[in-house]
């Protein structure tokens, strides 16, 4: 049974006009799906993303990912655009439960958009503070977990406590070599 046939059988709570729907993208194709949907007339797209530092052997690297991996939102008139949206490049399907097609309330989307800003992007703060749990990224001590004890902003360095030979030893390290373990949003 096609989606249009399923929609025809939907109960009266199915939206009668334009509404926000949750879409599942193909694996790691949120950006591709959002790009293709944004080119369609009468389709509004919302793809919330997050940017943060990740530890690698070469040091911290800033990456951007979807806030909801494999999901994004589109606002459209389901009667006119369902097939076009469903078969857009990068879209796996429109989230539905049998013959029920849930919508996302406008206020939920507007609250999310307001919290992210104009680029639909939330940057996780990289500033460190004493007491932060961090991981050393790159170099000889790559992957070592430690705690920041002091910030030395003039030198772009921090003091951390390292467990070395069974005792905690204070060590100064470049602030650019650390990634916070539990990012503050």
153 confidence band (pLDDT: 50, 70, 90): low
pLDDT tens digits for 14-59? 556 799 999 999 999 999 999 999 999 999 999 999 887 777 777 7
What pLDDT sits at residue 145?
85
What pLDDT sits at residue 3?
44
The upper half-sphere exposure of residue 141, i.e. CA atoms within 13 Å in the direction of its Cβ, equals: 18
Least confident of 23-37, 83-97, 112-126: 112-126
What pLDDT sits at residue 130?
83
What pLDDT sits at residue 173?
79
Q: Is 0.75 surpassed by the pTM of this model?
A: no
Domains recognised in the chain with CATH numbers? 3-123 (3.30.70.940), 133-180 (2.30.30.30)
- Strand order of the β-sheet with 61-66 is 61-66, 49-54, 121-123
pLDDT > 70: what percent of the chain?
Answer: 84
How far is 183 from 54, CA to CA, in rounded Å?
Answer: 10
Residue predicted with more confidence, 140 or 12: 140
Task: Assign 3-class secondary structure to the chain.
Answer: CCHHHHHHCCCCCCCCCEEEEEEEECCCCHHHHHHHHHCCCCCEEECCEEEEEECCCCCCEEEEEECCCCEEEEEEEHHHHHHHHHCCCCEEEECCECCECCCECHHHHHHHHHHHCCCCEEECCCCCCCCCEEEECCCCCCCCEEEEEEEEHHHCEEEEEEEECCEEEEEEEEHHHEEECCCCC
What pLDDT sits at residue 9?
42
The upper half-sphere exposure of residue 80, i.e. CA atoms within 13 Å in the direction of its Cβ, equals: 11
The mean pLDDT of 100-116, rounded to a whole number, is 90
4 confidence band (pLDDT: 50, 70, 90): very low
């Amino acid at each position: 049974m096609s989606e249009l046939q399923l929609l025809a059988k939907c109960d009266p709570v199915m939206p009668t006009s334009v509404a926000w729907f949750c879409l599942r993208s193909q694996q790691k194709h949120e950006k591709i799906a959002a790009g293709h949907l944004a080119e369609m007339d009468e389709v509004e797209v919302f793809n919330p993303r997050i940017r943060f530092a990740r530890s690698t052997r070469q040091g911290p690297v800033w990456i951007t990912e979807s806030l909801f991996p494999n999901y994004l939102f589109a606002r459209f008139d389901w009667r006119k655009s369902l097939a076009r949206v469903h078969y857009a490049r990068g879209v796996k399907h429109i989230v539905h439960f049998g013959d029920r097609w849930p919508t996302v309330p406008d206020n939920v989307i507007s609250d999310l958009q307001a919290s992210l800003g104009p680029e639909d992007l939330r940057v996780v703060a990289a500033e460190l503070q004493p007491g932060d749990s961090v991981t050393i990224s790159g170099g000889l001590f790559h992957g070592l977990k430690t705690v920041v004890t002091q910030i030395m902003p003039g030198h772009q360095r921090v003091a951390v406590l390292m467990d070395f030979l069974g005792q905690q030893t204070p060590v100064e390290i470049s602030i650019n070599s650390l990634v916070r373990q539990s990012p503050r949003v």
